[in-house]
Structure 1
Amino acid sequence: MSFSKIIQYILFVALVLLTVFNFYALTTGRKKKLKGEETFKKILRDLENRVFSEMKKNHISFDEKHGYINDTNQGFFLAFDSKNRKMGIATNDEFFLLGYDEVVSCGVKSDPLQRGLVTNVRVELETKEDLLVFVFGTKKWKTKSHWGAFLLSDAQEFCDFVNSHSASQ
């Protein structure tokens, strides 16, 4: 057996192993993605049901809804009632019902670390009576990474909706 034949067999085995690995990664990745989507939908569905029950209890009708999820799979559900000028915010543990005129400010805060990393990405919603904090990111994230940028943009979008509705007093 010549040296070139041995190299051919080694390359063939390497390509077969690479193909098997890619197939495994593709099927496993797809399963993880589907499971993640199911988890995301379940969390938001549970929060929406909670908002719906609060809506019935308080005799209001939310006409605009937005759902968010953080890096620890906890959700936030933001809903607005334009007619009664109220907003509802549901978390896994609590529900807040606020009038548009109760909101003083809403801003995104994070703790900067070295080399473009941030942690503790949060929305601070100041009302006339309290300061509500919703944590969107607890881990260390690069601001330019997919997940870091996603969490920062979701937190900013949350504040933009709150600010746009409270400013329309």
Structure 2
Amino acid sequence: MGMIMWELTTGCKPFANVEHDHNLVYRILDGERPKITEDTPECYANLMKSCWDPDPKKRPSVKKIRNSFGSWFFRTLLDDVFTKAELKRRELIESQKLGPEFAKKPHPKAIYTSRSLISFVSKSSSIKSSLFYSNEDYISEEIKFDIKFKSEIYTSSLNVTATSRKRKVDESNIENDGKKRLCD
């Protein structure tokens, strides 16, 4: 919801000027968000930021968002705030500092407008939840290859590590010589 709110204030798509790859996913997980424009009312910006909270339990419900919009609409005290913000927004559009036609040229690999993000969502949803709270730098490289496993592995244990996290590998003991085999 926060990205929709941001798009409404800027007229631009979020992260349109950067490549949509796993690095962007990691930067978003580490807290990167689009810059809030100077014409955005403070109460609107605060609600938008709360929608961006990395902990989903701390994000406002749709009901709270609806109630906030309703109170802004019916409260005359804030009408002046939103009127001033709209005048400032129009001024920025007229001075060619705001709006999609004046934004930086979209990155050629900003793909969310031309293809599905399902592959990115499935990759990021498998990331351990502790990554949501870390501020580590991530260095990774996508490599395509195929590994054909033998039915038996002659080691006492197997550790698989990827992107600073361990994946659990089910193992079953084989009676003869304590050899272990990966389960399907």
Q: Mark yes or no: TM-score above 0.5.
A: no
TM-score under structure 2 length normalisation: 0.20
User: Relative contact order (alpha carbons < 8 A, sep ≥ 6): 1 or 2 greater?
Assistant: 2
